[in-house]
Structure 1
C-alpha cells in the first residue's frame, strides 16, 4: 500500500513553508476562528454553517466564500485514502479551539489512520513562545521530526472538549486543566479561556485588564501602537489585530489622550486596580461556543468561573 499523508494546516502561510522543507504531501487549510461567536458540535450540520456565517458576516464573509474557503476543505476531503494525518497547530487558544473541532470531526468519521500533531510554542534557545510561521526552516523541520502521535484517549478528550465548548455552560472546563494528554499546551489554553470571562472584582476579563496595565506602564502614543503591544504580549490567546482592535474599542471609555500619549482616566485606574466593577457598563452579547460571556464570572483566586449573580 502506498503511503499517503494529509497535512491539516492552521493557516495559508504554512503552505509555502512546508514546500521549503521538502514536504509535498496533500494539504488542507482549516481557516476558522471558532474561539469567537456561536458554534454547533456537528461541523457537517446546516446549523453550524448558519451560525458561523451569521457571526463571520461582520468580517465580510459570504455564504459562497465561507463554503468554499472554510467548509469544503475540511468536510469534503476523502480521509480514508490517507495512511496518516498530520495536524499543524500552535500553542494558543485560537488554534486549540480550531484543533479540537477538527479532531472531533475526524473522530466522528471513524478515521483509522494514525493522527499526529505538530505544535509550536516553546522552542529550544528561544526566549518567547513561537508560532509556526515564526520558526526557521530548521526549527520547522525539527518540529515535524518530533511530531506527536495522538492516542485514542487524546482524540476522545478533544471531542469531549469540543462538545463542552458548544454548550451554554463552561464551568466544567476547570476539571480538564489537570487531565494528562499529549497536547503540551492544552492546560494553558483552558486556563486562558476561563480568563476570558469577566472578573468578579472589576467586570473586565484578564486580557482587558492587561490592556489597561500596558497603557499605564508603557508610553503608548496611539491605539495602533497599543494594538502592537497587545499582539506581542497577549500570552496564550493568539488573537489577530482585528480582535485586539475590537477589545481596544470596547475599552475606549477607560483611557484618553493626554500630552500625546494614552493615559488611564479615573474609570481606567479603578478598573485596573479592581476597585470597582464595570460589569453593567461592559455587558454585551459576546458568546463563546454557546456560552454567553456575561452570564458567568471569573474568580481570580480560584481560577474558575461560576454563574453570574
Structure 2
C-alpha cells in the first residue's frame, strides 16, 4: 500500500492532478502550537483535541473525525507499506512531520518512508512550501524524494521527543546532524529555540512583531505579511501570528535591545 501524507488540505487538489497512485492522508494539525503532553498516542491526541476546542472553539468530535481519522489511516497501515511525506522546510511543517514519523515508528514490520520537499524552490523562497507549485513541479519533487535510513528515523525520533518535551538543549545538539532528510535543520531548530524569552529579552517572534508594530504599522494584515517575509522559517499561519500580535499590542513597552 502506498500512502501520500500531505501537510494540510491546500495541496490536495493540485496533488490529485499529478495522477500519482496511492492513498492520500491529510495531516490537519499545527504541532507548532499548543499542548504537547501525553505519554501515549491516545493521551496526546486527546490533549490536542482539548487544545483545539479551547483555542479555536471546535468541538472535540470534529477533531477526531477530521484530524485523528486521518492519522488512524497511518496507524493501521499494513506491513510493507510505502509512505511519502509531502512537507515544506519550515518549522510548522517540520513539527507536523516529526509527529507523523513518531506515529510510523510504532508500526510493526518493514516499511519504506520517504520525504518529498519542494525542491524546485529557489533558496530565497524555500519557506514558501508547495503553495504555488504546478503539477510538473510536484512530479519533479516526487522524483527527488529522499528515503529515510534507520539513522534518519532515529534522528527524527530524537527531534520529536526533544521538541515535545521542551528540551531546547537537546534540540540544539540534534540540530548539528547532517541529513538529506532534514535540510535546513539548524535554522529550523534555532528558530524554535529563539521563540522563548532569554536574558530579559522577548522571544524572537514577539521582538519582530513589536518592531513591525512600532516602525511600520499596527494593521494586522500588514504585520502578518511583513512577519511572513522576515520570518518565513516559522511557517506560522494567521492564527499563530495573531496570538503573538495580540499579546504584543496588549503589553506594548519600549523594545529591549
TM-score, normalisation: structure 1: 0.75
Question: Which structure 2 segments of 5+ residues have no match?
Answer: none
Number of equivalences: 253
Local SS of the residue matching 1:87? strand
TM-score, normalization by structure 2? 0.89
Give the corresponding residue for 2:176: 178
Distance 1:12 1:33 in 2: 13
Q: In the alignment, what sits opposite 1:74?
A: 71
Deviations 1:228-248 (A, max 9, x none): 222333231011011111111
Once the two structures are overlaid, the 10-residue window that deviates more, 80-89 or 35-44, is 35-44
Q: 1:51 and 2:50 equivalent?
A: no
Q: Is the 8 A contact 2:2 2:21 kept in 1?
A: no
Residue pairs, 1:226-245, within 5 angstroms: 226-245=223-242
* Runs of 4+ residues deviating >6 angstroms: none
Aligned to 2:129: 131
Taking only aligned residues, the RMSD between alpha carbons, in angstroms, comes to 2.2
Residues 12 and 43 from structure 1, CA distance in 2 versus in 1: closer, same or farther, beyond 3 angstroms?
farther
1:17, CA displacement in angstroms? 1.1
Contact map agreement 1:92 1:238 (CA 8 A) in 2 = yes
- Superposition pairs of residues 159-238 of structure 1, within 5 angstroms: 159-181=157-179, 182-202=181-201, 204-218=202-216, 220=217, 222-238=219-235
1:24-173 matches, cutoff 5 A: 24-40=21-37, 44-45=41-42, 47-57=43-53, 58-77=55-74, 78-80=76-78, 83-120=81-118, 123-124=121-122, 127-129=124-126, 130-173=128-171
Residues 221 and 188 (structure 1), Cα distance of their counterparts in 2 relative to 1, 3 Å cut: closer
Give how far 1:216 is off: 4.4
CA distance, structure 2, for counterparts of residue 111 and residue 66 of structure 1: 29
Residues 79 and 192 of structure 1: CA distance in aligned 2, closer, same or farther (over 3 Å): same
Deviation, 1:42, is: 5.3
Point out the structure with the larger strand share: 1
Q: CA deviation at 1:152?
A: 0.9
Unaligned 5+ segments in structure 1 are: 256-266, 275-309
Give the C-alpha shift of residue 56 in structure 1. 0.8
- Higher share of residues assigned helix: 2
